[in-house]
Amino acid sequence: MLAIVGVLVVIVSVLGGFSLAGGHIAALFHISEFIVIGGTALGTILISTPRSILKELFAKLTGVIKQTPFSKELYLEALKMIFELFQIARRDGLVAIESHIERPDQSEVFKKYSAVASRHHAITFLCDSLRLVLVGSVPPHDLEALMDADIEVHHEQEARPVNVLQKVGDALPGIGIVAAVLGIVVTMGAIAGPVEHIGEKVGAALTGTFLGVLLAYGFATPLSSSMEHQNAEEARFHHFIKASVVAFAKGFAPIVATEFARRAIFADVRPSFEEMEAACKSTRKK
């Protein structure tokens, strides 16, 4: 929602300022310029981007619009879920959580924490890591290195659509210049016509440069930055999970392992120890 508000602010600011300066908004809308710039930008994406990354790009753009943040409430729910899993393992043995991590979609524990369970990559990461704890043959330091490698691979994959959008943003001013040059070519062909007609064509040509720069710095670059922030938050959530699993693998008590996870949360959304303790204690009453 915040991204949509930002887009509207950009549009209203540009068009509103142009109108206040005495400009006519209709003069900015030339279908030929939109076709040249939009079509060329789309074509460059299709030329340079594999199909799999295109799917990731559209998914990321949808995610920017929806913007489901990693809030304090989400982290508290995740802390409760992790604590409950570790409590079951400590009370009934590691085998007791096997059914939960093998089929998380059917697990009664995961079902109670739907906001966390909807983060499919994170749940898969947690379950795959806990399987190694169940096996028991992987030392904690090797488990930590393996989880770090998994996070790095995931982060690199998530960065690919961001790079595509950044490159398009870098190219858009140049594409706008192409549209402007084409407009000047058309203008030169009508140089012998009425002055008003020539002025209209020059205005249309300049609109190409305007659109290229606006689309680059008003939309493409900010959207890629927003996607980067989302990737950073998701990577932090994976590190949060890693901290808890590694601590549990080292033999720490569930509440201590959960505290390791809490310390891995960004400060602006990190629950206090008292909040975490109260949330974890509430799981024992269920």
Q: Residues 45-90: pLDDT tens digits? A: 999 999 999 999 998 888 887 777 889 999 999 999 999 999 999 9
What integer pLDDT is reported at residue 187 of this predicted model? 83
User: Is 270 within the bounds of a domain?
Assistant: yes
User: Is 5 a member of any domain?
Assistant: no
Give the structural domain span for 37: 30-283
**Which of the four pLDDT bands, split at 50, 70 and 90, describes residue 212?**
very high
Q: Is residue 14 part of a domain?
A: no
**pLDDT > 70: what percent of the chain?**
97
- pLDDT tens, position by position, 160-198: 999 999 999 999 999 999 999 998 888 887 777 776 677
Whether 276 has a pLDDT exceeding 90, the answer reads yes
Radius of gyration of the chain (CA): 26
Per-residue pLDDT tens digits for 82-101: 999 999 999 999 999 999 99
Residue at 22 is within a domain: no
Q: How far apart are CA 121 and CA 119, in angstroms?
A: 6
103 in any annotated domain: yes
∠ CA 252-255-257, nearest 5°, is 45
User: Residue 133 falls within a domain, yes or no?
Assistant: yes
Q: Is residue 151 part of a domain?
A: yes
- pTM score, two decimals? 0.86
Is the distance from CB of 104 to CB of 127 less than 8 angstroms?
yes
The pLDDT of residue 285 is 56
Residue carrying structure tokens 């203008």: 187
Q: Provide the number of structural domains found in the chain.
A: 1
The two structure tokens encoding residue 242: 């890693």
Is residue 43 one of the residues assigned to a domain?
Answer: yes
